[in-house]
Amino acid sequence: MGTFAKKSMNIKFIRFYNCITLLIIVSLYSCKKNDKFILNENFDSNKLAWIEESSLFHCIKIDSGYYYISNCDTSSSTDFSSTTSLDKSYLYNLPKSFEICTKIKLLYYKHENASFGIILNGASLQYAFSIHRVGGISVYEYDNNSKKENLLLSRDSEYEIDDEVICKILINDGKSTIYIDDYNIGESKFSVNALQELRLFTSKESKIAVDYLTIKRTNKRN
């Protein structure tokens, strides 16, 4: 083999080696960047078997990248409609510090006190993080054993909810902190160490569209 051919071959090998090295670096960086996500749901499909059904009381479906939840009960038998996924593996072995984030759009409401948000269930304790259309934010704790409900947090925001909001819930060391559009609403206790269920809900005769839902690891906060 001639000198020119050897040099050409060496150059090709170096370029190939550099490309492989670059791909490995990019791959490792991407994995490191994304490994914080425990759940990254954009509702482009239904791999986690989110409940979809239509009845006299509600209509729940995934369509065009949104999870639509509609309560259509005109009687007094229900106060809200809630839904969850059948696959709950993303709740297994959650770290002590994590963040739940979702973007929700309020599409329709009949009652001025309409609300929507997230419910987190433990074995007997339930925590409801409610976003009210008139701007109020509240966190309730319900004990299924004692059948008692406690208001843990109640705040008024400066604007009415007439479009969409980004809600973040930080769980850390027995406490929860709720943010609405990056505004710190407040902190309350959170006495569940192992979650059994995460539910999305909307109140009586209202409709919401959930754009995404994520859970990711966070650094422990003091």
Counting as low any pLDDT under 50, the low residues of the chain are 25-33, 222
Task: Name the residue ranges covered by the structural domains of the chain.
Answer: 1-35, 38-217
Burial classification of residue 21, based on how many CB atoms lie within 10 Å of its CB (0-12 exposed, 13-18 middle, 19 or more buried): exposed
Residue of 212, 210, 214, 213 whose CA lies nearest to 68: 210
Report the 10 Å Cβ neighbour count for 136. Answer: 17
Q: How many residues would you count in the chain? A: 222
Residue 76: which residues within 8 A CB-CB, separation 6 or more?
Answer: none
pLDDT, tens digit (0-9, with 9 covering 90-100), for 24-57: 544 444 444 457 899 999 999 999 999 999 998 8
pLDDT value of position 70? 97
Query: In CATH, what number does 38-217 get?
Result: 2.60.120.560
Six-digit token pair at 196? 């059994």
Spatial distance between the Cα atoms of 53 and 189, rounded to a whole number of angstroms:
34
pLDDT value of position 218? 92
pLDDT value of position 29? 46
Q: Assign residue 29 a region (left: φ > 0; alpha: ψ between -120 and 50; beta: otherwise).
A: alpha
Tell me the backbone φ, ψ of residue 48, rounded to 5 degrees.
Answer: -95, 5
Tell me the backbone φ, ψ of residue 23, rounded to 5 degrees.
Answer: -65, -40
Spatial distance between the Cα atoms of 14 and 10, rounded to a whole number of angstroms:
6
Spatial distance between the Cα atoms of 101 and 167, rounded to a whole number of angstroms:
6
Q: Do 172 and 163 touch, CB atoms closer than 8 A? A: no
Q: Do 81 and 60 touch, CB atoms closer than 8 A? A: yes
Residue 149 is which amino acid?
A: E
Six-digit token pair at 187? 């902190």
Give the distance between the most distant pair of CA atoms in the chain.
90
Spatial distance between the Cα atoms of 122 and 193, rounded to a whole number of angstroms:
8
